[in-house]
Amino acid sequence: MVQLIPGQHIHLIGIGGSGMSAIARVLLQQGYYITGSDRSTGDMIDALKQEGAQIYHGHDATYVNDAEIVVATSAVSNDHIEILSAQAQGIPVYRRIDFIGKLTQGYDCIAVSGTHGKTTTTSMVAYILLQTGRDPSYVVGGVMGNTGKNGAVGDSNLFVIEADEYDNMFHGLRPQIEVITSVEYDHPDFFRTPNQMMDAFSHFVGLLPQDGLLVACADDPGALMFARNREIMALPVATYGIRDASAYWQARAIEYTTEYTDFDVYYKDHLQGHVRLTIPGTHNVLNALAALVVVCTLDVKFTAAAAALEEFRSSGRRFELLDDYEDIAIINDYAHHPTAIRATIEAARLRYPTRDLWAVWQPHTYSRTAALIDNFAEAFDKAHHAIITEIYAAREKPIEGVSSHDLVEMMHHPDVRYVPMLDDVVDTLLADVKAPAVILVMSAGDATRVTRDYWQALKERNR
């Protein structure tokens, strides 16, 4: 049983990751002494250091010395040197599933889950509540564009959290409100079959109390199934959608321009008002609808929520515009699943309809590439050009017979290129891209440096 008392020394293994860094931020603000270790460096590590964390580069058995609790990222195995050292010293070691419930204990928890869209939806809910004076605590899987943070402690009893399905983290939560944006097979390194993943979401929904609310996307078959099952039991449900006419909450009259996405929101056929987003894409209309359902349930006025959404900026690596330099838009995105890739490319075409679109994708993990390879091969049809890099292994070792080269050989795209090394991707873009264009780099790994290096090289070349 985790016992949390402010002032304790808590050590986080993998502190630089999106989820672990957010937890570290919350703990720092709650008055804990935080140390951490990570083999990576970067802005997140630097920010945590400035906020008071002591962070070691790399991993060593001595880094856990004097810690009272150790929390380990899902990316490390049980034989990790710091886990073994902590166990030898009698220091309790917890995974996120064990720890996250204690972090949110005592709050009214709003948990946003789903294969796609959960980071943006969580950010939208948190930002609307912040802008309307509700001051929630929050943990998000990406740095929020409006706050510059991925975690914070507020003064209210609300805690908004991105409910990650990987490693069954979301099973450690006890939410009052759950959102399911989508349920589509992913994480084959953890969920060996689609049924295992569905079972995980089923357990998550079962954590809601009798009076808890399930908010589910009616346009997604998996999410809708859980909504229908809960309706059969006469338990609280709110559905939202664009295509499904049975959804309680609907977006209608959607218009896309080069600057905005506009739509009207209806609840049970009654117009609630108009929403304008500065972020593009049909998927973001759905994300905004989900956020509106949640906050209106919490008695936030629709007009105030819509006003906040118009000011909403995307989270880090969620259609994040680095620059629009001499008619070349340079964008980072986190898309690493076929459905997310298609949605992000569609959003780019909607925002920049007359520009040449270059889609650069770094596959993430061998197991995902192998399990979804047929869908990946068809995900780039709406891009004018596609560049596929070598696979980012993350926590995995290579799988024999699985490679980006083989994926490219399967594709029937008119201009798809296998460019394994990131430096060579930059050179290819410099040689072949002609304005007006869009460079869309999609990666859950380290390919964000392609956008940075390309942007810097463009400026050098044009001096």
Q: List residues with catalytic annotation.
A: 118-119, 162
Nearest to 179 by CA among 211, 215, 228, 218: 215
Q: How far apart are CA 251 and CA 247, in angstroms?
A: 10
Q: State whether residue 70 is helix, strand or coil.
A: strand
Angle CA 23–17–86, to nearest 5? 70
Biggest CA–CA distance in the chain, Å, is 66
Could you say which DSSP state residue 402 is in? Answer: -
Token pair for 222:
């998996």
Q: How far apart are CA 48 and CA 42, in angstroms?
A: 10
Contact at 8 Å (CB) between 223 and 187? no
Torsion of CA 17, 21, 23, 25, to 10 degrees: -170
Phi, psi of 24 (to 5 degrees): -60, -40
What is the rounded radius of gyration, in angstroms, for the C-alpha atoms of the chain?
22
Mention every residue, 6+ apart, whose C-beta is less than 8 A from residue 327. Answer: 355, 435, 436, 437
Nearest to 154 by CA among 139, 175, 166, 169: 139
Contact at 8 Å (CB) between 366 and 448? no
